[in-house]
């Protein structure tokens, strides 16, 4: 048999390779029907660029392949067509005896189809007996590879054919729910929960699916998907204070990711606002550390929410350091400063803020620097007295108080771009 190498294949082997890549079903049928072509449904292709030859034996036929010095990159006609969504070509191969679970490169064709979200190919492979529990060389089952919104129906098909919703990847020990939660796949989360996915399963880092969802950084446009995932998990009963291996809770992680809606969700469900991680950080520490770098995420909303739920404030002597680090998020500074009846403002405070920021937000920073020369306003001192009296009961107590909306919002640190 002529060697099949993607680099040096010639004649029928090259034609077969090209037909598979382009989904040319007629050419595939012709070549498979020609006993002189030297190709078959279980041929194995080497996609590497090595210069040595090696023989492999499949179905009692010898196929000469390129050997790999460091890593073998082997694939089959089934893998190629399944990953590209060439349904009819895949059917031709299966009807002509292709081994549905052949995995010379470490993954089966079903793995590839799930990773590519070629739903019809997944359905066809399963109908021909593909193993939904097959474990890849990397320790993943096909369900672990359903990682895109388009793969939702693939996941559904796998579960209907016996895939285990709580299967664990070998290295990371992630369940499919961990992966879906981390990637913000709300539809997958809903599906897995309907099949009894474990809410408190722990991966190698000690994360539950809710931890995994909160720990993943998302761009601003994807924050809504993350919120929907977390909402489903919390409403299904996930623990909002579950610690990972570093004793980080979902609230710690959501603050690192600067996700205001998820932070609000966790706080509304009773997350402990002042519990510390292994490194000694509280949720407020975490958001202040990232506020200047996540301006599009509106970190000031997180800072305000934490303070309104009773977060322990920064030691006054450290406020200048916080100002230097967070001045790019002026409203985060505003919310924090407006929680103190007095602050130790000195000339160093004015030097800590770049001039261009002062020009962009003159009212806020000028009122802040003026605190070194004048006392806080009486209305602000009254606000601080009420907040200090209520402490972590503030959010629960306000609905019971007959306050006009403007005064209630003032107590809750309404943003005014000024410090009193």
Tens place of pLDDT per residue across the chain (420 aa): 333 555 545 578 788 888 898 999 998 888 888 887 778 899 888 877 544 444 444 443 444 444 444 455 889 999 999 999 999 999 999 999 999 999 998 999 999 999 999 999 999 999 999 999 999 999 999 999 999 999 999 999 999 999 999 999 999 999 999 999 999 999 999 999 999 999 999 999 999 999 999 999 999 999 999 999 999 999 999 999 999 999 999 999 999 999 999 999 999 999 999 999 999 999 999 999 999 999 999 999 999 999 999 999 999 999 999 999 999 999 999 999 999 999 999 999 999 999 999 999 999 999 999 999 888 999 999 999 999 999 889 999 999 989 999 999 999 999 999 999
What pLDDT sits at residue 46? 81
- What number of other Cβ atoms are within 10 A of residue 90's Cβ? 30
Owner of token pair 């006054």: 316
334: nearest Cα among 372, 378, 304: 304
DSSP one-letter string for 367-390? HHHGGGTSPPPHHHHHHHHHHHHH
What pLDDT sits at residue 68? 40
**Burial tier of 27 (Cβ tally within 10 Å: 0-12, 13-18, 19+):** middle
- For residues 361 and 330, the answer to whether their CB atoms sit within 8 Å is yes
- Give the global pTM: 0.89
Beta strand pairing call for 52-58 and 45-46: unpaired
How far is residue 394 from each of residues 305, 378, 412, measured CA to CA in Å?
A: 11, 20, 9
How far is residue 396 from each of residues 31, 41, 349, 401, measured CA to CA in Å?
A: 74, 68, 35, 10
Query: What counts of helices (H) and strands (E) characterise the chain?
Result: 23, 4
The domain segmentation of the chain, as residue ranges, is 1-163
- For residues 234 and 269, the answer to whether their CB atoms sit within 8 Å is yes
How far is residue 317 from each of residues 268, 274, 322, measured CA to CA in Å?
A: 31, 19, 10
Q: Which CATH class is domain 1-163?
A: mainly alpha
What pLDDT sits at residue 6? 52
């Amino acid at each position: 048999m002529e060697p099949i190498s993607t680099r040096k294949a010639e004649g029928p082997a090259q034609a077969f390779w090209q037909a598979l890549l382009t989904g040319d079903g007629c050419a595939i049928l012709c070549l498979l029907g020609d006993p002189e072509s030297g190709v078959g449904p279980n041929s194995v292709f080497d996609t590497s660029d090595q210069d040595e030859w090696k023989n492999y034996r499949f179905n009692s036929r010898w196929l000469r392949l390129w050997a790999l010095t460091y890593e073998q990159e082997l694939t089959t006609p089934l893998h190629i067509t399944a990953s590209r969504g060439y349904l009819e070509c895949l059917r031709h191969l299966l009807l002509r005896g292709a081994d549905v679970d052949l995995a010379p490169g470490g993954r089966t064709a079903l793995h590839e189809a799930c990773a590519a979200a070629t739903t019809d190919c997944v359905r066809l492979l399963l109908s021909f007996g593909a193993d939904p529990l097959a474990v890849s060389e990397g320790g993943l089952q096909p369900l672990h590879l359903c990682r895109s919104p388009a793969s939702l129906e693939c996941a559904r098909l796998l579960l209907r054919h016996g895939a285990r919703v709580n299967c664990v990847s070998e290295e990371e020990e992630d369940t499919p729910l961990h992966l879906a939660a981390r990637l913000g796949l709300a539809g997958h989360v809903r599906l897995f929960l309907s099949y009894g996915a474990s809410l408190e399963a722990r991966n190698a880092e000690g994360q539950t699916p809710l931890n995994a969802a909160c720990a993943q950084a998302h761009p601003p446009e994807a924050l809504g998907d993350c919120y929907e995932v977390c909402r489903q998990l919390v409403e299904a009963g996930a623990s909002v204070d579950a610690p990972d291996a570093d004793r980080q809770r979902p609230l710690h992680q959501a603050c690192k990711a600067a996700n205001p809606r998820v932070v609000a969700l966790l706080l509304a469900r009773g997350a402990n606002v002042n519990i510390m991680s292994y490194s000694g950080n509280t949720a407020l520490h975490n958001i202040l550390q990232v506020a200047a770098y996540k301006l599009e995420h509106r970190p000031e909303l997180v800072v305000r929410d934490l303070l309104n739920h009773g977060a322990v404030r920064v030691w006054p002597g450290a406020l200048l350091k916080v100002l230097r680090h967070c001045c790019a998020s002026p409203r985060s500074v505003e919310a924090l400063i407006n929680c103190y009846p007095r602050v130790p403002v000195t000339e160093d405070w004015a030097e800590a803020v770049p001039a261009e920021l002062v020009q962009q937000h003159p009212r806020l920073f000028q009122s802040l620097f003026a605190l070194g020369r004048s006392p806080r306003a009486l209305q602000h001192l009254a606000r601080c007295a009420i907040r200090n009296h209520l402490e972590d009961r503030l959010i629960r107590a306000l609905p019971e108080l007959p306050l006009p909306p403007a005064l209630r919002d003032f107590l809750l640190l309404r943003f005014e771009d000024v410090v009193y």
